[in-house]
Chains A and B, each alone.
Chain A
């Protein structure tokens, strides 16, 4: 019965062993389909409105009722890009990409030690990671500010990178563990008996399962870092400010500027929309910390 010890770790499917994936509710009245489309359009309407307005002139954007069929123009984007958005966009990209890479470097070995070759009390360790996620960021904000101030890393993108790494690490450990738990341990044992080395085994048995997991985890971490405002707003000012901080400058503007706001919102949301649609199927797994597949 010894294989059970590892198959308990490897038995991954939240669906349980016996339940088969159900086919969707058959047919039904076409009215349900129409209702679903109506709800979908209602929820997408603000996004569609945002995209459409970003291509309108400021005068057409500020009419009541909205002039949806107004001629299209790139003026909104021109004025957005005239406002020096590149430094914050590049800062955001740096912070998100570098912190995601750091997260992977730390999370993948940790997830390995929590699933394939589990340490003692691995569930306790896993839940410790999760519990840190419940600590509100705002509660640690002040010491982080005082620390950054005394060490001289205020307004420094590297400090933000480290904080984003710690913010996303628990999520990544949970996600990676739930992916690595699907690695077929029997195949690893068989490979080992055949005398395969660690590298060969990682490449031929672990990698095929782990790589899609790494991709999904990276996208989720990227999205969270890209969106973050509170830390960036508190710990950066002019040099290292990120795109969300840049966006806050539009909060109190007056006059005709809706098209420009929409253009800014579209440009800054574009990476997240792209990453999110690409990871659509894994999105729920990441957001529920791997509890739901």
Chain B
């Protein structure tokens, strides 16, 4: 129908309503284009300065031997730091942990989020109240949530989960309920549990928005034609939800790859839970090896760019649909 190319969107009401001589028109167009850029420039310049410059510096430092404790040795060392990144077993472990943590949390919260969104898409008494309760986990400050899970829920002595286990076992007259040492026996699972609890509401919100934009007449027609609930889900609801699932998965990945708070609070990176953000933080802050930390940072950015390329494509396809192109 329409093409919102820059050239087309360049036409303004004034230009359409006012007659201009051809050669005056070109100069006027340029002036108009310049005038339109003015409100954009402060935000653009600020964003470039604040986000691109530090990253350029990171790239430069990543090729240097730069340790705070040995200022005399500072100098360029080529790819030494990158060789370390790819040969150091601790860093390889951090890459694996990051992938495992991100994938588990994203996939489980997507599945739970879809199921809960389907439940909340129905009419029942107190629907608004349940929705509000569901959002609550996402609105607890991440550091507070990590503390709550570490001390209040997973503590082996008096945490909520082991407390509930004791209570259930005592209902059946048993005196020795299982009391797992969650944080030391299942450290990564503990972190995953707390993150899944926080991120399921996010997925649920995105998928609920998707469900509520589903064309009702198509479902109605399918039902008239005798389609069952499963068939409606499989052939109408699921294809419609697919891009919302993609969007939730990709945005979730981008946020959870960067998860720092819960690892820092719950295990301080011990017991194989150190993911890349935590490892970079430790290389930079504890070992004070700035060159190596920067090389790790560059590697993380490259990994993120790979995810982000897909994410941008998804957002851009939703965006195209929105602007009707």
Chain A residues near B (Cβ < 8 Å): 1-2, 4-9, 11-28, 30, 32-33, 35-37, 39-41, 43-47, 49-50, 53, 61-66, 106-107, 109-110, 112-114, 117-123, 125, 127-147, 162-163, 165-166, 169-170, 173, 178, 181, 188-189, 192-193, 223, 226-227, 229-230, 233-234, 243-244, 247-248, 250-252, 257-258, 261-262, 264-265, 268-269, 272-273, 276-277, 280, 283-284, 287-289, 291-293
Contact = CB atoms under 8 A, between A and B. Distances in A.
Interface in B220-274: 244, 247, 251, 254, 257-258, 260-261, 264-265, 268
B153 A46 contact: yes
B70 interface: no
Given A40-B130, A134-B304, A22 B39 contact: no
Interface stretch (B19-27, B75-83, B84-92, B163-171): B163-171
Given A107-B43, A265-B147, A288-B206, A134 B254 contact: yes
A1 B130 CA distance: 47
A244 B58 contact: no
A33 B125 contact: yes
A269 B213 contact: no
A28 B322 CA distance: 33
A280 B135 contact: yes
Nearest to A172: B43
B184 to A, nearest CB: 14
Interface residues of B, number: 134
Interface in B120-149: 120-127, 129-149
Contact of B318 (A14, A44, A229, A230): A14
A130 B251 CA distance: 12
Contacts of B212: 21-22, 24
A181 B4 CA distance: 13
Interface in B25-82: 33, 36-40, 42-44, 46-47, 50-55, 57-58, 61
A265 B141 contact: yes
A136 B277 contact: yes
A63 to B, nearest CB: 6
A4 B3 CA distance: 8
A140 B202 contact: no
A128 B1 CA distance: 26
B153 A49 contact: yes
A251 B268 contact: yes
A251 B267 CA distance: 9
A15 B150 CA distance: 41
Given A106-B42, A139-B297, A166-B51, A5 B9 contact: yes
Given A119-B40, A166-B46, A283-B205, A269 B61 contact: no
B40 A163 contact: no
B133 A41 contact: yes
B275 to A, nearest CB: 10
A9 B4 contact: yes
Contact of B247 (A45, A53, A291): A291
B151 A112 contact: no
